[in-house]
Every structure is written in C-alpha cells, then in structure tokens.
C-alpha cells in the first residue's frame, strides 16, 4: 500500500492475524527497539491513529472476510444450524450412536467435542462415542436478538400491539369478545 513503510505493513498484518488484535503486542513483535510495554503501547496508539493505517486495516480486514466467505448471512446460517439441530440424527434406526465420519453435515457442525472409548471383551472390540454439542439455547438467543424478538427488559406485548398486528375484522372480533368477557357470566346469559 502506498504511503506505508514495510514495518507499518508488517504491524498491520500482525494486528489482523492476532485473536485479540493487540497493538502493543504487535509493536513488540515488529519493532525490536521497543522492549517495554509502556513505550510499545504509545507507539501502537500512534500507529493505530494514523489514517493510512486505519484505512489499510479496514480494507485488508474486508478482503480477509471475503476470502473466508464470512458475512452476516453465513454467521446467521451457522447459528440457525446450531439452533435447529435435531439430535435424533446422532443415532441409527437401531438406536446406536452414529460414527463421526457418518454424521450428517448439519450435525457435524454442532459437535464441539468428542470422547472415544474403546473396550475389549476378549477378542471383540467395541467403540463408544460421546458427543458434546454446541449450546442450542445460546444460538437461539443470538437469533432472537438479531430478529429483535427480545428487548433489554422483557416488557411483554401490549394489547394495542396485538390489535395492530391483526387484520381489522379479527381485531374488532377480539374487542367484542373482550367486552363480553368483562360483562360477566350472568350478563352473558341475559344478552
């Protein structure tokens, strides 16, 4: 990129490949003259405030995400897979656990851990698989938040919101039913 030194470009590449994107650690790795965190933090702060570096980081990050095909739709798709996984697919019709290489793709994506136990009974060997799956509740919660199904406070839904969501004829019928219910059982018989 024009306008950036080789050290600045290496600094950017280190930043982009770090899990926590720590500027101070990137400076310590690239600029060998910095040996103390305090001075490295100052250099990192100056580098990260440089508009050329900021633009380069944004551009490269976008390119990396595109190369990896990571976008909001792919993330939502993965959350959907986790949220709606059907554990029945972990078993054969006979009730035995499916081997890892035979798992359907959607179920394999949900596996976060696998324990394999081998037992020997004489000459016979039996293998048992124990799968640990991703948290279905968390995936559902993330999807719900994305769809704005929940507020920070669970305020419930108002009658007006229900009525606004109904076609006019149903809303009018619901209002009539509510009026009848408010009259009480004796009034309903008379009316």
20 vs 18: CA distance, rounded Å: 6
Nearest to 86 by CA among 112, 113, 106, 115: 106
The pLDDT tens digits for 97-112 are 899 999 999 999 999 9
Kindly report, residue by residue over 14-38, the tens digit of the pLDDT.
888 887 778 888 888 888 888 888 8
The torsion angles phi and psi of 119, rounded to 5 degrees, stand at -125, 140
In whole angstroms, give the CA distance from residue 65 to residue 82.
Answer: 21
Q: Per the confidence metrics, is the pTM higher than 0.75?
A: no
Task: Please state, in angstroms and rounded to a whole number, the distance separating the CA atoms of residues 157 and 151.
Answer: 11
Domain boundaries, the chain: 6-67, 71-155, 157-191
């Amino acid at each position: 990129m024009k306008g950036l030194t080789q050290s600045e470009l290496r600094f950017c590449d280190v930043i982009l490949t770090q899990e926590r994107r720590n500027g101070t650690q990137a400076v310590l790795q690239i600029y060998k003259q910095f040996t103390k965190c305090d001075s490295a933090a100052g250099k990192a702060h100056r580098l990260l405030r440089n508009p050329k570096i900021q633009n380069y980081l944004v551009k490269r990050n976008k390119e990396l995400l595109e190369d990896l095909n990571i976008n909001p739709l792919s993330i939502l798709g993965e959350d959907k897979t986790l949220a709606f996984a059907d554990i029945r697919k972990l078993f054969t019709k006979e009730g035995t656990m499916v081997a890892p290489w035979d798992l359907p793709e959607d179920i394999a994506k949900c596996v976060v851990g696998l324990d394999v136990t081998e037992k020997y009974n004489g000459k016979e060997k039996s293998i048992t698989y124990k799968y640990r799956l991703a948290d279905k509740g968390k995936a559902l919660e993330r999807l719900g938040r994305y769809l704005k199904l929940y507020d920070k406070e669970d305020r419930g839904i108002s009658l007006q919101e229900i009525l606004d969501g109904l076609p006019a004829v149903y809303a009018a019928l619901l209002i009539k039913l509510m009026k009848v219910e408010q009259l009480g059982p004796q009034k309903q018989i008379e009316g």
